[in-house]
Amino acid sequence: METMQIPSGSADLAQRLADAARSILQSYYRKPIPIDAKSDASPVTQADRDAESAMRDILKRAAPDHGIVGEEFGSENADAEFVWVLDPLDGTRAFISGKPTFGTLIGLARKGVPVLGVIDMPILNERWVGGHGMATVLNGTPARTRACASLRQARIGTTSPEIFSDPERIEAFSGLRRQVLDCNYGGDCYGYGLLASGWLDIVMESTLQPYDFAAIAPVIAGAGGVMTDWAGEQLTLSSNGDVLASGDPGLHGAALGAITKS
């Protein structure tokens, strides 16, 4: 497999983006703010839009030859070798409910493969950064997944059972849920950060968009875990968004098996 090098300075640039989004989201947090509905009925606010706009402005100055894919403002130069993938506010429902468990996701993909990621939690003051050839850190301190010998010992997480949108996906999740120790709901991107730091063992989700997972896969890999689609294939910007992350790589095959045998 081709080595996916991260361009020099990209990790620092990603942190600049996270700083900019964090400041904006903090300024809107628990303040009265209009809530609009997207075409899929999911909520969006000015906080989402302002945070993404700030990150795009920085990228256009600092990396004008790179592409951008963002949740709120779509794609620019998306066929570039390097493409930044932005979710300015992952967990808008949590945000508008006053919960602190929303985050900002910043990913960098090379030739469609995520190679660098940031999970930033603006209110909790926690930030995971990791990538190819770059061990994941949480606020500058090494973050590592934990060993888990079997599914029976595993604690899994997912944002909501409602994310599994059809009978086949519901049964796939149920097949895994029946074999594990415990299941934790909620948290959006925060669950992946907890997995990277050894508090959860598996996170399973469905029908995500590239901006939902492009930042996460490198963070998990840099912490010693693995994240693939439900077929065990490497995640790319073209993946269908059915994802499975495991902290212990030895557990990943069993988790995939529980999904496919359901």
Can you tell me whether residue 210 is helix, strand or coil? Answer: helix
Mean pLDDT of 16-26: 98
Percentage of the chain with pLDDT > 70? 97
- DSSP per residue, 37-98: E-TTS-EEEHHHHHHHHHHHHHHHHH-TTSEEEETTTEEESTTSSEEEEEEEEETHHHHHTT
* Structural tokens at position 64: 């004008």
Domain ranges of the chain: 10-142, 151-260
Return the CATH number of 151-260, one of 3.40.50.1580, 3.30.70.3420, 3.40.190.80, 3.40.190.10: 3.40.190.80
Is the confidence at residue 234, as pLDDT, over 80?
yes
Continuous segment of H or E residues that includes residue 227: strand 226-229
3-state secondary structure (DSSP) of residue 121: strand
Strand partners, 104: 120
**Which residues make beta-bridge pairs with 245?**
203, 227
Over the chain, what is the mean pLDDT? Answer: 94
- Mean predicted confidence (pLDDT) in 82-88: 98
Tell me the C-alpha to C-alpha distance, in Å, between residue 141 and each of 5, 104, 106, 150, 167: 22, 19, 19, 28, 41
In whole angstroms, give the CA distance from residue 170 to residue 187.
19
Measured from the Cβ of residue 111, the count of other Cβ atoms closer than 10 Å reads 13
Q: What angle do CA 255, 190, 86 make, to 5 degrees?
A: 100
Of all residues in the chain, the percent with pLDDT exceeding 90 is 87
Whole-angstrom distance, CA of residue 89 vs CA of residue 21: 9
Per-residue model confidence (pLDDT) at position 262: 53
Axis-axis angle for helices 46-62, 10-28 (nearest 10): 160
CATH architecture entry for 10-142 = 2-Layer Sandwich (3.30)
Residues 30-67: pLDDT tens digits?
999 888 877 776 888 999 999 999 999 999 999 999 99
Q: Is the pTM of this model over 0.85?
A: yes
Q: Which of 135, 28, 139 is nearest to 88 (CA)?
A: 28
The per-residue pLDDT for range 241-252, each reduced to its tens digit, is: 999 999 999 999
Q: What is the mean pLDDT of residues 198-224?
A: 97
